[in-house]
Amino acid sequence: MTTTWIVLGATSAMARPLIRALATKGATIYLAGRDMDALETLATDCRIAGAPEAHAVKFDARDASNYAEIVHSLAATEGTLNAISFVGSMPEQYEIDASPDLIADVVMDSMTGPATFLTRLAPVMEARGTGVIVGISSVAGDRGRLGNYVYGAAKAAFSTYLSGLRNRLGRAGVHVMTVKPGPVDTPMTFGKKIPFMTTPEAVAKDILRGIEKRRNVIYTAPIWRLVMAVITHIPEPIFKKMSF
């Protein structure tokens, strides 16, 4: 049985080990993103690793004009269809404070673009009655904090979107998994000293295990479920004076 994955944000540092694992398992992969040269190189790597087919696809979270065309290509595949989105952007909060127009870009990258695409794809997966959608959100969405509350707000919206999508598609046999990474050692966190930092390789293992166990929401590293349980229970009068 053929298995196909579309990976939105395939150039993401976090996506790479997962893409390699999917290729090794023999999945056909659609690598979607903005940098076509990087995607073509990734597609070659996938074919070498064992993917029967690997395609580079133009995907811009801020331009939905070709989403219907991508979904049309995916609808023509046979077997199980799966999707995962790594798309997101996190300018520094002080940059956003100085240029509030950036808010629209952050929301577009982390929420509107991926959600628009997944909503277009949903009926195709619903009709097949199988498959998995994985959305990479963030622990930043669990509570707005001083250092990144616009990015956090966009990820909170994406987590809520995924929760509703899970509710809808679960009825048709399609599983939706929300991934909430804590800090991961990628360019997004370059130069930052953050506790309980994990690696893209460990994230890939957690995602694959989560899919296998049909988990609804996973934290990676798993310790972040506990950390966020504590953080979300700090009373607001105290939390609003904290600086992290």
Residue nearer to ligand NAP on the CB measure, 2 or 99: 99
Query: Does position 41 bind ligand NAP by CB under 6 A?
Result: no
Rounded Cα gap, residues 58 and 35, in angstroms = 8
Are the beta carbons of 37 and 15 closer than 8 angstroms? no
What binding mask, one character per residue, do residues 177-216 give for ligand NAP by CB under 6 A, x or -? ----x-xx-xxxx---------------------------
CB of 78 to ligand NAP, least distance (A): 27
Closest by Cα among 159, 187, 191, 7 to 87: 7
Residue nearer to ligand NAP on the CB measure, 2 or 216: 216
Question: Contact with ligand NAP (CB under 6 A): which of 45, 60, 126, 201?
Answer: 60
Binding-site size, ligand NAP (CB under 6 A)? 29
**Stretch near ligand NAP under the rule CB under 6 A, chosen from 27-35, 42-50, 123-131, 221-229:** 27-35
**Stretch near ligand NAP under the rule CB under 6 A, chosen from 17-25, 64-72, 83-91, 226-234:** 83-91
Query: Does position 66 bind ligand NAP by CB under 6 A?
Result: no
**Stretch near ligand NAP under the rule CB under 6 A, chosen from 50-58, 71-79, 81-89, 233-241:** 81-89
Query: Does position 109 bind ligand NAP by CB under 6 A?
Result: yes
- Under the rule (CB under 6 A), what is the footprint of ligand NAP? 9, 11-14, 33-35, 59-62, 86-90, 109-110, 113, 136, 138, 181, 183-184, 186-189
